Structure 1
Amino acid sequence: MEKILFKKSYSHNNYKEKPFDYLWNKKGAFTSVAVYGRSKKFLHFDEHIYNLTRSLKKIGVKVNLKPFLNSFIKKNFKNNIKYHHLFRVAVSTKTISISLRKINYNTNYVKCVLINYQRPNYKIKNLKYKKTFDFLKLVNNRNTECIFYKNKIILEGSTTNIVFIYKNQILTPKEGCYHGISLKFFSKKFKIKKKNIFLQNLNNYDEIILLGSGRGVVSVDEIPQIGWKKRDNLFYNKFYQFYKSYINKTLSKRQK
């Protein structure tokens, strides 16, 4: 069971608190920001809120989030907690909902299951997640990620973007998915090529790596459905060391 430190909902028009609602399957969008350390470092906070605001505008929802969230963080985050949490902000047509839960994924062994599905309105992180939750109920989410595909083309993970390693090339699905903040972050360091990844070619890849705010950087061990098993950790180690170095540097800056 996930450990939630707080969950609160507020009205758009006056920012007054109201009964909590996760807002799943409502008209709206959400984002999840990783928070680390006693210095309360929110990884890529500005980018997350910018993307969320832009997504909301696309579906006709207008709200001034940044000042409200800055005030909320000052009031609700403590100095005596060493954070390793996921800060979720969801916004519907009338409500802002905020929750904080501990990151509790298993990184020692991770497998994937292949599912023929594409998220509706996939270009934004919308709240229409009923089908995704139905799939996640069928697996142990701590050590299993669902990989979605459509028309035999790989799209994205249920909570992650995916990169594939083939002959020292780093590839990620070209379309049909949401290219998230974590993927964009790694793209600044590594040459990641967007390309159609075909279901029938998965066994050609040496490594499959998951990227996301919650999971961070994770190497997939196997996909039992097709008998795929990882053959190397070379690029995973590069990604992980880069990510770890970034977190350590940013935490140090906040602690000075």
Structure 2
Amino acid sequence: MLISYFKNQFIDSDEIQLNQNLLSGIGVFETIKFNQNKLFFFDEHINRLFSNDFFDFTKLKKEKIYDNVIKLIKQNSIQEGLVKIIITPKSNNWNNLEYYIFLRELPKINQEVVKVIFYQENLYPILRFNPMYKSLSYMGNFMARRDARLEGAFEPIFYNQDNIITEGSIRNIFFIKENIIYTPCTKLGILNGITRQKVIELGQSKNYKVDTSPIHFKNINSMDEAFITSSAIGILPCKWNGWNSDFTVTKKLKNLYNSISENQ
């Protein structure tokens, strides 16, 4: 018998009901916005969750996960928020999976425009992989997020060793110049966020050109507008020290995105 130290006491290790794979960062997750019993873009999220090749998802049923999410929402008093679905192996057999579902409130954002700050990503242990997925190995992202908050910024935006803009710690970034929408390419090892996908589709449907060619850090101040995206915030205009905008096109896209989200 092995003894562990857990929650201020020495205890039989077998009595600790913790999946060790969670502690090792082995697993994938998705975060989905909900309003009452309505899940925003559930199919897109769950399909991406099941799309990586590291695990065998055949024994997990998407419909069952959906049903359990709805049951969990009904058992809580929260009307609007975020659902986090985590899938991890039960043991060293990575084909034997289990999942967890957690709820949390939406982030409280009191500004119409938030401040971002730009960091070299090689200063943090950031995972880059193509195609990128949401793994539990997020320490580097949250280290940067902590540093950004200490500097009064809402979100850090990374640029790589070639000074090419990649993404935020937990959000995608877009720029607009002369009515062309620019966003980093997924080949850089960034997450192809569901909101990112919807914004690209929306922009193209409104006859905006979407360009995913490299965005150099030195050129960001020449942009006309900028915004960040995620499931939690949708489209959120952003600024940085020495640069601001009237966000004319961003506001139009934000209104259109909110409309399609509510009416999906």
Give the TM-score of the pair, scaled to structure 1: 0.79
Is the contact made by 1:210 and 1:217 (CA closer than 8 Å) also made in structure 2?
yes
**Higher-strand-fraction structure:** 1
**Cα RMSD (Å):** 2.5
Residue 182 of structure 1 pairs with residue 195 of structure 2 = yes
Quote the offset at 1:80 in angstroms. 8.3
* Higher radius of gyration, 1 or 2: 2
Q: 1:195 to 1:68 in 2, by over 3 A?
A: same
Equivalent residue, structure 2, for 1:137: 146
Match of residue 147 from structure 1: 157
CA drift of 1:105 comes to 3.6
Answering whether residue 98 of structure 2 is matched by residue 89 of structure 1, we say: no
Contact 2:69–2:83 under 8 Å retained in 1: no
Of 234, 246, 249, the residue aligned with 1:216 is: 234
Task: Indicate conservation of the 8 Å contact 1:110/1:143, yes or no.
Answer: yes
Give CA deviations for 1:181-200 in whole Å, capped at 9, x if unaligned. 11111222213221111001
Q: Secondary structure at the match of 1:71?
A: helix
Q: Distance in 1 between matches of 2:105 and 2:64?
A: 23
2:214 alignment partner AA: N
Q: Which position in structure 2 is the counterpart of 1:173?
A: 184
SS at match of 1:148: strand
Secondary structure of the residue that 2:232 maps to in structure 1? coil
- Match for residue 224 of structure 2 among 206, 226, 231: 206
For the 8 Å contact 1:22–1:97, the answer to whether it is kept is: no
Residue 258 (structure 2) pairs with residue 244 (structure 1): yes
Question: 1:248 offset after TM fit, Å?
Answer: 3.4
- For 2:183, what is the secondary structure of its paired residue? strand
Instruction: Provide structure 1 residue ranges, at least 5 long, that are not aligned to the other structure.
Output: 1-17, 251-256
**Alignment CA distance shift 1:24-1:31 (3 Å):** farther
Q: Paired residue for 1:5?
A: none
Residue 11 (structure 1) aligns with: none
Q: State the AA in 2 paired with 1:184.
A: Q
Instruction: Kindly indicate whether the alpha-carbon contact (under 8 Å) linking 2:21 and 2:27 is maintained by their aligned counterparts in 1.
Output: no
Per-residue Cα deviation, 1:9-54 (whole angstroms, up to 9, x for no partner): xxxxxxxxx6589937522211100112x3x211100110000000
Q: CA deviation at 1:121?
A: 2.6
1:124 aligns with 2:141: no
Cα contact 1:165–1:207 (8 A) shared by 2: yes
**2:157·2:165 contact (CA, 8 Å) conserved in 1?**
yes
**Structure 2: 5+ residue runs without aligned partners?**
1-16, 91-97, 205-209
Of the candidates 165, 168, 172, which is equivalent to residue 161 of structure 1?
172
Provide the rounded CA distance (Å) in 2 between the counterparts of 1:210 and 1:22.
Answer: 32
- CA distance in 1 between counterparts of 2:76 and 2:28 reads 31
| CA displacement, residues 184-226 of structure 1 (integer Å, 9 cap, x when unaligned) | 1122221322111100101011111111101211000x222xx
Alignment of 1:48-63 (within 5 A): 48-55=45-52, 58-62=53-57, 63=59
Measured against aligned partners, the alpha-carbon deviations of 1:119-145 in whole angstroms (never above 9, x if no partner) come to 233612222101112222223399611
- 2:5 matched to which residue of 1? none
| TM-score, with length taken from structure 2 | 0.77
Matched residue, 2:31: 32
Secondary structure at 2:48 match in 1: helix
1:71-116, Cα deviation, whole Å (9 max, x unpaired): 3124222288563211111112224122110012415141111121
CA distance in 2, matches of 1:68, 1:180: 24
Identify if the C-alpha distance between structure 1 residues 154 and 97 changes in structure 2 by more than 3 Å, giving closer, same or farther. Answer: same
Task: Pick 1 or 2: higher relative contact order, CA cutoff 8 A, min separation 6.
Answer: 1
Q: CA distance change for structure 1 residues 74 and 103 in 2, over 3 Å: closer, same or farther? A: closer
**CA deviations over 1:204-253 (Å, ceiling 9, x no partner):** 11111111101211000x222xx2x2222111111111122123324xxx
Name the CA distance, whole Å, in 2 between partners of 1:61 and 1:26.
17
CA contact 2:78–2:105 (8 Å) conserved in 1: no
